[in-house]
Amino acid sequence: MSDKGPNLPPPQNGRNPRLPGAKGEGGMPRWAILLVSAVVITLLVVAISGGAATTSNEISYDEFLNKVDAGEVAEIKYNNATFEIEVITNSEPPETFRTFSLREIPDTTQEKLINSGIKISPNTNTGNVFTNTILPLFLPLGLIILFFWWLSRRQQSQMGGIMSVGRSKAKTYTTERPGTTFADVAGYAGVKREITEVVDFLKHPAKFGEIGARIPKGVLLVGPPGTGKTLIARAVAGEAGVPFMSVTGSDFMEMFVGVGASRVRDLFAEARKMGRAIIFIDEIDSIGRKRGAGLGGGHDEREQTLNQMLAEMDGFEATEGIVMMAATNRPDILDPALLRPGRFDRQVVVPLPELDDRKEILAVHTKHKKMGPDVDIDVIARGTPGMSGADLANLVNEAALFAVRHGQATITSTSFDQARDRVLIGIERESMVRSREELERTAYHEAGHALCAAALPSHDPVHKVTIIPTGMALGVTMTLPEGDRHKLEQQEAEDRIVMALGGRNAERIVFGEVSSGASDDLRQATQMARRMVTEWGMSDAIGPMSLGDNGPVFLGDGGMTSKEYSERTSELIDTETRRILMEMEARCAELLNTKRGALNLIARSLLEHETVSGDEVDRLIALAEENPSAASIEPETVDEVGGSTTNGGEELSGAMVQDATENG
């Protein structure tokens, strides 16, 4: 399923918080900050320019009088405010000097100037009134006023945040921005058909009302993680043609008591103002858990939020025209009152995609990528059973990363194979150093798994076998089903146990002892055998009884209760589980002893090439059946086998097979 990013609507106030004019983090408009900065800079420039000194030379008052006596002065300019005298000489070119007199020029000096014919230009300059008087007075006062205004704005914003804590945090999507549509949702035709019915009701309510049909008030999308439940909800927002309000379950919870219920009331109040609307709650299990399952009793904040939601959906007041949608991957823990008719009375299952759905999803994700000519979407879809839409999107992205890493111009089928291995079994640890003995034991261990999987008729075919450390394992045997499977027969379950025990039994047959490398195999085999006994009724001693515990495990919902069967039945379950495991181990040992030649050939191929394909495993098994003498090849004598002409270690050459059979 395509998983495009959400098309978020513009803020309801019509302003982009990243544009000029939006409020800053402190609550002060950015234009105000810029304006204040410009005013301060301007005032500083004016003050500096107003008080700047002249560039003339400065002389003493005595030197000034001497120049007057010598007849070198032609004109003086006297400033009554600063007592500065600007002296202009009668030389060519005229020179300018400045000096400072006493508070007033003495009368004798004035007479001397007049008698000497010196031009006197008095200048009663009181200076810059703004910078000398107003600025020193009002600048500190203005800064104090600005600080208190900013402080009051912050307090108002904080108080406003506290007062609006009960407001709904839902995002409203309008019809002007449809965003995602059903065309962007690949596959899931049945799910889209049920959701389309709800959309049609909101668009054309009269068509349903003519025959008295009532649309479900609530639609619950149920499915595993990554299947696209939220994407389908976004598509409804694009198709509905009515306001769509989206909120997550965690948005209702806050540290204050009663906030969740208040937000629920505000959410439905806003929806009623719109007439017809869709309310979508993602991850509703965070607030919709069964009541009485916590430690807070009836006063628990989560329970109060749930109670308010139940009353708003189908309480005393009608909510006609409002359709609730919700998504969860844990429907088993939801409160029964939430799922009854009149509330979430329709559950739409969004399962893991089938083969055809995976093809459509892969086509969407590979649409805008450079794909190589050898890439077959059908083959990739068949090789990815059980993957969700999110897994497929990650697979395509990993394939693109592998292509870039290897310097390829396009994404090839090899890139997809490497990406699938990376997603399913982890990254290869080629730098890990192991001894020859450990490599040999690992090769026989994986050869045992591969031989059992290939020889058992009901088991999935082998895709590849490798002894390169991958993830947390020293080696991996990968099997892929030929198609989608929805049930497991008893023969298939038993074959899976045999395959899981193949590595352990191969080590015992070849080396005479087992190792700790089979710990995960034993865990898988034990789980499968126990489920056969307790859940699937595949034990004659237990009979058609379901003794498994499939319910949710959390305090208040049976987590502290005793088992529903007796101790004798519990002992019988252990006995039957052990019986199945012992029988399958004996069957596995018999299979490996019978096909010992194939086991040796597969192990030798792994030691030489590290990775063997599933087709090569089938060919080696057929070769061992045609040449039974190959069963006598032991690990020490296998080293004498001839070389190989294979490319990449995927196939075993004919020359090597001939030498192996002859030496046997």
What is the token pair recorded at 521?
A: 């195999």
Q: Which of 216, 278, 272 is nearest to 247 (CA)?
A: 278
**CB neighbourhood size of 150 (10 A):** 16
In the set 398, 446, 576, 616, the catalytic residue is 446
Tokens coding 381: 């879809």
Residue 525: helix, strand or coil by DSSP? helix
Quickly count helices (H) and strands (E) in the chain: 24, 14
Cβ–Cβ < 8 Å for 99, 58: yes
Q: How many CB atoms lie within 10 A of CB 274?
A: 16
Cβ-based neighbours of 305, under 8 Å, separated by 6 or more: 252, 253, 260, 261, 263, 264, 287
Contact 168, 247 (CB under 8 A): yes
Angle at 244 (CA atoms; ends 241, 246), nearest 5 degrees? 155
Q: What are phi and psi of 357, to 5 degrees?
A: -65, -40
Reported as half-sphere exposure (CB side, CA atoms, 13 A), residue 470 has a value of 21
Q: How far is CA 346 from CA 200, 277, 309, 511, in A?
A: 16, 18, 17, 59
Q: How far apart are CA 434 and CA 432, in angstroms?
A: 7
> Cα–Cα distance between 601 and 594 in angstroms, integer?
14
Phi/psi at 216 (5° precision): -60, 140
Helix (H) or strand (E) holding 601: helix 596-609
Nearest to 198 by CA among 174, 221, 177, 180: 221
Please tell me whether residue 78 adopts helix, strand or coil conformation. Answer: strand
Classify each residue of 403-423 as buried b or exposed e, where b means 16 or more C-beta atoms within 10 Å of its C-beta.
Answer: beeeeeeebbbbbbbbbbbbb
- Catalytic site residue 446? yes
Q: Do 464 and 431 touch, CB atoms closer than 8 A?
A: no
Output DSSP code: residue 106: -
Instruction: Give the three-state DSSP class for 223.
Output: coil
From residue 21, alpha-carbon distances to 14, 277, 374, 604 in Å are 12, 32, 54, 73
What number of other Cβ atoms are within 10 A of residue 555's Cβ?
A: 10
For 616-646, letters b (16+ CB in 10 Å) and e give bbbbbbebbeebeebbebebeebeebeebee
Q: Rg of the chain's alpha carbons, rounded to an integer?
A: 43
Beta-carbon contacts of residue 411 (< 8 Å; ≥ 6 apart): 366, 369, 370, 371, 372, 375, 399, 400, 403
Annotated catalytic residues are: 446
